[in-house]
């Protein structure tokens, strides 16, 4: 199984040209499950599914921006509205849960996008605690993954909590020790333009709870959507992460 996470940067900048690159990447990476953040236009979400060729699309509604493309049939879904809200944001944050049937097993998928300001680690920590509680409610003993834009890197308390206290496996970190794996990278001019607001770091993750079922072995994990077009256009202000299991 291959899982991909990617923040698509809404419909900003040269967004149709950017999406041409995203569609090419989806074909190249051939992930079984794709967790996108910042897809707020539900008509466009439907267009994404059609143009990418994925048989299934799960949407939580335009309010959250969280969607899944999947080769596996969704059999259950729910969107959690996080109670913890940043005082600097006039919108809410969410966690989108989808359970899929792979034919061999049921798998629980979670997609999230946490508050972004650099000095709001306390806010993100509370959001992660809500996420953790929701996961425990929904999954029981299912193979489970969390993907998304956490807007923080270790040693932020939220990432320490997930990795060290809850013992989730950070798939990129596990397969690439010592590699920063930047997904917010100043090589990307869209990210570099926000240099004063956000430092370079990896803020996009694919976590698994246990190495069971389709997640028994991590074959590889890498940064993707990190190359520009010939015209210098990048697919988003983020790079993505792709993990292959076997």
CA atoms within 13 A on the CB side of 164: 8
Q: What is the pLDDT of residue 184?
A: 98
The pLDDT of residue 140 is 86
Which of the four pLDDT bands, split at 50, 70 and 90, describes residue 61?
Answer: confident
| Strand 169-170 to 204-208 pairing | antiparallel
Of 128, 111, 98, nearest to 64 by C-alpha is: 111
Q: Are the CB atoms for 25 and 225 separated by under 8 Å? A: yes
Cα–Cα distances (Å) from 136 to 35, 46, 97, 139, 149, in that order, read 20, 30, 12, 6, 20
pTM: 0.98
Both tokens assigned to 102:
């792979």
Number of domains in the chain: 1
Mean residue pLDDT of the chain comes to: 97
Which pLDDT does position 62 carry in this prediction? 81
Task: Name 54's bridge partners.
Answer: none
| pLDDT (average), residues 59-83 | 96
What's the rounded mean pLDDT across residues 55-69? Answer: 95
> Which strand (E) or helix (H) includes residue 94?
strand 94-101
Residues in a beta bridge with 206: 147
- Average pLDDT of the residues in 154-178: 97
Which pLDDT belongs to residue 209? 96
Predicted confidence (pLDDT) at residue 126 exceeds the cutoff of 90: yes
* pLDDT the model gives residue 96: 98
- What token pair was written down for 13? 């900048």
Q: What is the pLDDT of residues 190-216, one digit of tens each?
A: 999 999 999 999 999 999 999 999 999
Is a pLDDT exceeding 90 seen at residue 226?
Answer: yes
Percent of the chain exceeding pLDDT 90 equals 98
Quick check: 69 and 52 in contact, CB under 8 A?
Answer: yes
Radius of gyration over every alpha carbon of the chain, rounded to an integer in angstroms: 17
Confidence of residue 89 (pLDDT cuts 50, 70, 90): very high
Q: Average pLDDT of 56-68? A: 94
What range does the domain containing 211 cover?
2-245
CATH code at position 45: 3.60.10.10
Q: Is the pLDDT of residue 91 over 90?
A: yes
Closest Cα to residue 29, out of 17, 21, 38, 39?
21
Res 157 pLDDT > 90: yes
């Amino acid at each position: 199984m291959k899982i991909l996470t990617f923040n698509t940067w809404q419909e900003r900048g040269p967004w149709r040209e950017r999406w041409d690159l995203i569609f090419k990447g989806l074909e190249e990476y051939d992930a079984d499950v794709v967790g996108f953040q910042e897809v707020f236009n539900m008509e466009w979400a439907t267009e994404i599914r059609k143009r990418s060729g994925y048989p299934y699309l799960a949407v939580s509604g335009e309010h959250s921006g969280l969607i899944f493309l999947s080769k596996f049939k969704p059999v259950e879904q729910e969107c959690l509205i996080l109670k913890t809200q940043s005082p600097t944001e006039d919108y809410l944050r969410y966690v989108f849960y989808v359970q899929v049937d792979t034919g061999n097993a049921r798998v629980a998928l979670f997609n999230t996008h946490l508050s972004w300001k650099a000095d709001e680690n306390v806010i993100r920590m509370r959001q992660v605690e809500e996420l953790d509680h929701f996961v425990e409610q929904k999954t029981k003993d299912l193979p489970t993954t969390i993907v998304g834009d956490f807007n923080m890197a270790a040693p932020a308390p939220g990432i320490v909590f997930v990795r060290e206290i809850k013992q989730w496996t950070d798939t990129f970190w596990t397969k690439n020790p010592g590699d920063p794996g930047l997904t917010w990278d100043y090589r990307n001019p869209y990210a570099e333009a926000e240099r004063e607001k956000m430092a370079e770091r990896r803020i996009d993750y694919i976590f698994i709870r246990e190495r069971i079922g389709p997640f028994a072995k991590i074959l590889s994990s890498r940064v993707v959507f990190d190359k520009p077009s010939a015209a210098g256009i990048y697919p988003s202000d983020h790079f993505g992460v792709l993990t292959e299991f076997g």
